């Protein structure tokens, strides 16, 4: 009986979170649910530090780097077409295209206004700066046709042919402060919800 009691007490002791001062039941890896989730997300049961890292530090955590001449695959969220997306400033911040941010971080400046960032590797999910270069929409389209990718191309932004906005208008909208979505919508002939999406960065993500 004493042996069984001792075994039961030992099992209970082992089922308590290993973090000092935490007496919650273990979920996995010796941690309670809260500390386990932190460990799974941040690599540490205490967590927190990674969420407050600068954007350029957080960015490269989502990149599967290979050799200098190989594709570096974006491992986080991707949009239609396979292009990576990264949220600036963490939760609640605007999204930007990952390959354009890679170009910016590698060159110390954002892409030139009005130009696109092209992939020499034809892999939308690649963010290797060695595979990225600036070009006009026309150059990008000609490169696409030359490589036989035109049948799979999805136009976006002002190149779609149906957009009421342009890259410059999008920049003007995002720079406007103290102006309501409704007012901007009337000015540019679009709905307030369209203006809201542009300002939030959920649409026209290629414009920085």
**CB–CB of 46/38 below 8 Å?**
yes
pLDDT, position 205: 73
Mean pLDDT, the chain, as a whole number? 78
The pTM for the full model equals 0.49
| Rounded distance between C-alpha atoms, residue 29 and residue 45, angstroms | 10
- For the stretch 27-76, pLDDT in tens is 877 888 887 777 666 667 776 544 567 888 889 988 988 888 889 999 88
Q: Which fold has domain 54-154?
A: Homing Intron 3 (I-Ppo) Encoded Endonuclease; Chain A (3.90.75)
- Per-residue pLDDT of 168-197, as tens digits, reads 888 889 888 888 988 898 888 888 888 888
What percent of the chain has pLDDT above 70?
Answer: 77
Contact status, residue 75 vs residue 62, Cβ threshold 8 Å? yes
């Amino acid at each position: 009986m004493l042996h069984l009691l001792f075994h039961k007490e030992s099992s209970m002791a082992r089922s308590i979170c290993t973090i000092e001062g935490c007496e919650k039941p273990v979920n996995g890896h010796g941690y309670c649910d809260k500390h386990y989730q932190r460990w799974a997300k941040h690599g540490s049961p205490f967590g927190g530090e990674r969420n407050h890292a600068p954007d350029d530090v957080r960015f490269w955590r989502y990149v599967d780097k290979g050799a200098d001449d190989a594709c570096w695959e974006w491992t986080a969220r991707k949009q239609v077409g396979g292009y990576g997306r990264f949220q600036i400033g963490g939760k609640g911040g605007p999204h930007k295209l990952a390959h354009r941010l890679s170009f910016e971080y590698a060159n110390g400046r954002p892409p030139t206004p009005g130009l696109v960032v092209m992939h020499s590797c034809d892999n939308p999910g690649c963010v290797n700066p060695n595979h990225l270069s600036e070009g006009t929409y026309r150059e990008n389209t000609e490169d696409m046709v030359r490589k036989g990718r035109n049948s799979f191309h999805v136009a976006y932004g002002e190149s779609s042919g149906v957009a009421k906005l342009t890259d410059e208008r999008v920049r003007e909208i995002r720079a406007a402060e103290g102006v309501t979505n409704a007012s901007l919508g009337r000015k540019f002939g679009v709905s307030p919800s369209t203006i809201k999406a542009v300002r939030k960065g959920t649409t026209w993500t290629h414009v920085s």
